[in-house]
Every structure is written in C-alpha cells, then in structure tokens.
Amino acid sequence: MNRVGLIDYGMGNLHSVAKALEHAGASVHAIKKPDDLQHCDRVVLPGVGAFRDCADALQNNGMDEAIKTYTSKGNPFLGICLGMQVLMDLSLEFGEYRGLGLIVGTVKPLPEGLPALGCKIPHMGWNDVTFANALPIHPVLSPLHGQQVYYVHAYYCAPTHASHILAACSYGDFPFASAMGYDNIIGVQFHPEKSQRAGLAMLKCFVNWK
C-alpha cells in the first residue's frame, strides 16, 4: 500500500482529505516534521485559509525547504486549493508574500467585475474542468474529463509558463487554471475530497501515479 504523507501545518481540512485518500487506497500519515517526509512514497499539501499564514507556517518549521528537497528527488507531490497556490512564487492576497517557488507565477484575486455578471466572490460550488484538445490529459486528472468538481476560492494562479496549466475552468467569462504542474508536481484549485466520485477517482490516480 502506498504511504501518503499529509502535511499538517495547523491549517486545512486534514480529516476529510485523509478519509478521501484512505478511500482511494492510501496509507495516510500526518506529517508535522520535515524529517517525516523522507518516509513517504508521495505527499499531499492541503489548504484552507490565507496564503500568508500557510507560507509562514511552512517556513517557521523548515517544511518549505523539506518540500523543495522532496520534490527535487522526483517524488509525487499534490497541492490542493491553497496548497496549490503556495507552490507559486508570489501571492497578492492582502499584500505581497513569497511562496515555495516551485511553479513560476503569481496568485491574483479574481476580477472585481465578476459580481456585476452575477458571479459572487468567492467562487464557490460545482464547476467544470476543461482540457486542451491538442494535448494528452495528465494521468492524475484523467477521471475528470467531462466531470464537474467543487471549488472554493477568491484567488487564482497565473503561471508564467502556459505549459504548466494542465486544466482550466471558467467562472463567468473569466478563465483560470484549474490544475497546474510539471514532472512529479501537480496542484488543483478545486477540492477533490469534496468532489464526490470524480474527486475520489482523481485521488486514486494520484495514489497510484508513477
């Protein structure tokens, strides 16, 4: 059974993510110390809350550098919602704050004009995951083709390199990255643990991803 480390930095919905991963066939272990990462086959960074608090928590106990070392060795890594956003260089959420820098780009607020179009901020609820027709679907995301997933966010990731966008979604007339990544790193803006069968199928693919 694959040993999946679930990073516990004092924020995030660990219980629901852990249960979803267990349902997907993983042996889940809460990770609170950087040294614990080396005992995991793959790692998940969940996230609910503010970017600054998440980044500070990871930096204060050295988990930020441990994550960089872990991913540099080719180990599978998944960031969920805020856990994807903190992979970026920079966030503009209530100021300017540095992230892990694993994906080049910036976390930005959803456009202020969306409510005038009937789209409340935060973007909350079920929405699409769309893929570019010319490109193969990432193996972790393959169960999401033609499905909807559950989003809760007021900020979005704007990667510098378009090749890092693995899937997209549109809220009103505004498109944003639904999933990003490269090599052994993947992040999703939605919550797979709240996305019922489609989300569980995606997590199962991550648990078995090589």
- Stretch 182-198: mean pLDDT: 97
| pLDDT value of residue 1 | 67
State yes or no: pLDDT of 205 exceeds 70.
Answer: yes
Task: Please tell me the predicted confidence (pLDDT) of residue 12.
Answer: 67
* Whether residue 81 lies in the annotated active site: yes
Q: What is the CATH classification number for the domain harbouring 17?
A: 3.40.50.880
Opening angle at CA 61, ends 55 and 67, nearest 5: 65
**What would the two tokens of residue 47 be?**
């996230």
Is 0.75 topped by the overall pTM?
A: yes
Say which of 123, 138, 153, 191 is annotated catalytic. Answer: 191
Using CA atoms, how far apart are residues 177 and 157, in angstroms rounded to an integer? 6
Instruction: Mark whether 157 is an active-site residue.
Output: no
Residues whose CB is less than 8 angstroms from the CB of residue 195 and which lie 6 or more positions away in sequence, other chains included: 147, 148, 149, 150, 202
**Residue 161 burial (C-beta neighbours within 10 Å; 0-12, 13-18, 19+):** exposed
> Cα(119)–Cα(108) distance, rounded to whole angstroms?
17
pLDDT band at 133 (very low <50, low <70, confident <90, very high): confident
**Given 93, 123, 169, 193, which residue is catalytic?**
193
Residue 145 is part of which domain span?
A: 3-207
Q: Is the Cα torsion angle 119, 105, 55, 16 positive or negative in sign?
A: positive
- Measure the CA–CA gap between 58 and 2, rounded to whole angstroms: 24
The SS3 call for residue 198 is helix
Q: How many domains does the chain have?
A: 1
- The pLDDT tens digits of the residues spanning 78-124 come to 999 999 999 999 999 999 999 999 999 999 999 999 999 999 999 99
164 is catalytic: no
The catalytically annotated residue of 81, 157, 169, 205 is 81
